[in-house]
């Protein structure tokens, strides 16, 4: 568990280098974002929280993919929020999401899986530092990044990774355009001093800018059908995703 800013902690799971973010709030409460990913990792996280005297008072799921909708009874029964669109998609696609958990991280209490409720305002309502949600439809519908303005931390969900290329939502009508809108929304946020990707490593302000530029370059080259020189295109599964992106590029 790394303290990346005062009161903001990031744990990194073995599976897919998945991150979990904990934001300390008032009176021992904490905001728990995307707790992941295996049963053992959630148990270890719960143990760390209780050692620290922290108890989740709110949860946030950045987007409706199975590895961002997990929970454990050991975290208690705090309300868990996502954007209204993400909540609707999670409900609609629940059976497929459950299959994802069963295949990739078996053993979770599925009665607690994806129990998210829609956040109606722009900020997570909790007793702690301001947590402002920025919703967009890049990578997944109703993707909600969280900016902690005081700490300058952007919890980006599955965006701005140093190890994964932009992963488009191929079910969207125009995946490239949707991704660009989300990316530019995040790029426009002021005061980002730390970026936390859903998979990968925490970056500083310069790294945030570098990743925005790398993602723009990836989208530009892929959409144009040009050669893509992206150091993140190393794993087989990412090359396969890249091939799918090429097939979906708009014929303008």
Chain contacts with Zn ion (rule: CB under 5 A): 65, 158
Please, which residue, 41 or 158, has the CB nearer to Zn ion? 158
Least distance (Å) from Zn ion to the CB of residue 63? 6
Report the side by side order of strands in the sheet with 203-204. Answer: 132-136, 143-148, 153-157, 194-197, 203-204
Least distance (Å) from Zn ion to the CB of residue 3? 25
Which residues, 6+ apart, have CB-to-CB distance to 132 below 8 Å? Answer: 122, 123, 146, 147, 148, 149
Please, which residue, 129 or 142, has the CB nearer to Zn ion? 142
Least distance (Å) from Zn ion to the CB of residue 140? 6
Least distance (Å) from Zn ion to the CB of residue 203? 18
Please, which residue, 223 or 241, has the CB nearer to Zn ion? 241
Helix 205-224 / helix 236-247 crossing angle, nearest 10 deg: 50
- Quick count: other Cβ atoms within 10 Å of Cβ 171? 10
Contact 87, 118 (CB under 8 A): yes
Please, which residue, 65 or 136, has the CB nearer to Zn ion? 65
Contact 60, 146 (CB under 8 A): yes
């Amino acid at each position: 568990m790394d303290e990346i800013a005062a009161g903001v902690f990031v744990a990194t799971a073995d599976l897919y280098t998945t991150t979990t973010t904990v934001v300390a709030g008032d009176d021992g409460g904490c905001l728990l974002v995307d707790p992941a990913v295996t049963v053992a990792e959630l148990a270890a996280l719960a143990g760390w929280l209780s050692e620290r005297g922290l108890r989740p008072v709110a949860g946030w799921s950045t987007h409706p993919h199975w590895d961002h909708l997990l929970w454990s009874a050991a975290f208690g029964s705090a309300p868990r929020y996502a954007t209204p669109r993400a909540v609707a998609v999670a409900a609609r696609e629940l059976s497929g999401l459950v299959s994802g958990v069963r295949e990739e991280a078996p053993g979770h209490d599925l009665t607690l899986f994806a129990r998210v409720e829609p956040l109606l305002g722009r900020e997570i309502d909790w007793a702690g530092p301001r947590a402002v949600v920025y919703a967009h439809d890049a990578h997944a519908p109703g993707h909600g990044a969280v900016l902690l303005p005081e700490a300058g931390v952007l919890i980006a969900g599955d965006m701005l990774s140093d190890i994964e290329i932009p992963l488009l939502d191929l079910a969207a009508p125009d995946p490239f355009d949707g991704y660009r809108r989300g990316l530019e929304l995040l790029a426009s946020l002021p005061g980002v001093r730390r970026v936390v990707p859903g998979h990968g490593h925490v970056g500083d302000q310069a790294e945030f800018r570098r990743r925005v530029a790398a993602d723009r370059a990836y989208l530009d080259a892929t959409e144009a059908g040009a050669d893509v020189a992206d150091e993140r295109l190393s794993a087989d599964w990412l090359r396969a995703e890249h091939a799918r992106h090429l097939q979906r590029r708009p014929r303008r």
